[in-house]
Amino acid sequence: MEDSRGRVTKDGIRIYQDVDFAGMREAGRVAAEILDMVGPLVAPGVTTGSLDDFIREEIERRGVVSATIGYKGYQHASCISVNHVVCHGIPGSKVPGRSNDVLLAGDIINIDVTVIVDGWFGDTSRMYVAGTPKPFALRLINATHEGLMRGIAAVKPGNTFGDIGHAIQAYVEAQRLSVVRDFCGHGLGRVFHAPPNVLHYGRPGSGPKLEEGMIFTIEPMVNLGRPETKVLADDWTAITRDKSLSAQFEHSVGVTATGCEIFTLSPAGKFHPTWG
Ligand code: MF3
Ligand code: CO
Ligand code: CO
């Protein structure tokens, strides 16, 4: 299948061109810069609603567009997932198990931002800590970050999507942690969620072959306890069934001739909460 924007594989995965990578580079940079800016705001006593207000205002100030406001009825510029929230935590709503959205000392949170810049989607998330993390929380964060980076290291033409999932799963499970199965990464580009589903677990050699020009996210969610999740009555917030702590990191990447380009690297070098 060929059109003016290039080819789509038999698995429905679009193959992008150099000029498209330039668009993704810009969108990814903007998303990463915004995440760099929120870091210093995360502290005990701060509300998740105020963090989302900052992100929305920063998106407006830059004259770019939030991909999440209005997406399937979602009304916020970020997802903010505290402690045992796996993903899609709603900023400004009660932290599950609490009476408000105030962060407490030792909370670990994921902030996930997706912006649209000149039609291109930049999707990234990171972990932050309010105050000082407990050792087991830092261990979870470190392992989740390392799992993402091992998945990214498997991205090169000739490898498969199963190789990415396997690299993540093998590392995470060797740390006696679990990979969430109920949510996955996704193709993106000029759309938010496109084929394929990028699983964070799998068998080597399984799944579609990676080809130069593919663009997608890798966004593993890792739990201290069991992998099962459930979605709360708000229809968004996903939590661990066993209420164990969960962490996630997300990059948007594009496959190059020899490996991949990460579009959402932190310009300030602050992707991990213990950096910068
Ligand atoms: N950014 C999330 C992802 O990584 C999607 C959030 S959709 C929302 O795919 F509506 F919950 F914001
Ligand atoms: Co994503
Ligand atoms: Co995201």
Is there a contact between 140 and 180 (Cβ–Cβ < 8 Å)?
A: no
pLDDT digits (tens, 9 = 90+) for 66-88: 999 999 999 999 999 999 999 99
Closest CA to 113 of 102, 122, 103, 101: 122
Kindly give the distance from the C-alpha atom of residue 219 to the centroid of ligand 3, in angstroms, as a whole number: 7
Where does residue 70 fall: left (phi above 0), alpha (psi -120 to 50 degrees), or beta otherwise? left
Write the pLDDT tens digit of every residue in 87-97. Answer: 999 999 999 99
**pLDDT, greater one: 4 or 169:** 169
Burial 70-83 (b: 16+ CB within 10 A, else e): eeeebebbbbbbbb
C-beta separation of 1 from 8 below 8 A: yes
Cβ atoms < 10 Å from Cβ of 146 = 17
Burial class (CB in 10 A: 0-12, 13-18, 19+), 45: exposed
Residues with CB under 6 A from ligand 1: 68, 71-72, 74, 79, 88, 112, 114, 123, 217, 219, 250
Region of 45 on the Ramachandran plot (φ > 0 left; ψ -120 to 50 alpha; else beta): left
Q: What mean pLDDT value characterizes the chain?
A: 97
Indicate the SS3 state at residue 122. strand
Q: Which atom of ligand 1 has the smallest separation from the CA of 113?
A: 1
Predicted pLDDT at 6:
77
Encode pLDDT of 99-155 as tens digits: 999 999 999 999 999 999 999 999 999 999 999 999 999 999 999 999 999 999 999
Nearest-ligand number for the alpha carbon of 125: 3
**pLDDT of 15 strictly over 80:** yes
Helix (H) or strand (E) holding 260, with range, is: strand 260-262
| Pair 50, 217: CB distance under 8 Å | no
Q: What is the pLDDT of residue 276?
A: 80
Percent of the chain with pLDDT over 70: 98
Q: How far is the CA of 67 from the centre of ligand 3 (A)?
A: 10
User: What pLDDT digit, counting tens, does each position of 210-227 carry?
Assistant: 999 999 999 999 999 999
* Cα 7 to middle of ligand 1, angstroms: 26
Contacts of 233 (CB under 8 A, 6+ apart): none
Measured CA to CA in angstroms, residue 68 lies from 73, 94, 140, 224, 232 at distances of 9, 19, 27, 28, 19
Least Cα distance to 113 among 102, 121, 105 occurs for: 121
Q: How many CB atoms lie within 10 A of CB 134?
A: 12
For residue 63, count other CB atoms closer than 10 A to its CB.
7
Q: Residue 207 above 70 pLDDT?
A: yes
- State what percent of residues in the chain have pLDDT above 90: 97
The pLDDT assigned to 2 comes to 42
- Write down how long the chain is: 276
**What pLDDT is recorded for position 5?**
60
Which residues are paired to 194 by β-bridges? 187
Closest ligand 1 atom number to CA of residue 112: 1
To the nearest 10°, report the CA torsion of 21, 27, 30, 32. -70
Let me know how many helices (H) and strands (E) the chain has, helices first.
4, 17
Q: What is each CA distance from 24 to 18, 19, 29, 70, 209, in whole angstroms? A: 10, 9, 8, 21, 21
Q: What is the pLDDT of residues 224-261, one digit of tens each?
A: 999 999 999 999 999 999 999 999 999 999 999 999 99
Phi, psi dihedrals of residue 132, rounded to the nearest 5° = -100, 130
pLDDT at residue 232, rounded to an integer: 98
68 Cα: distance to centroid of ligand 1 (angstroms): 6
- The closest residue, in CA terms, to atom 8 on ligand 1 is 68
| Residue having the nearest C-alpha atom to atom 3 of ligand 1 | 123
**Using one digit for the tens of pLDDT, what is the confidence trace for 148-191?**
999 999 999 999 999 999 999 999 999 999 999 999 999 999 99
Q: Which atom of ligand 1 is least distant from the CA of 236?
A: 11
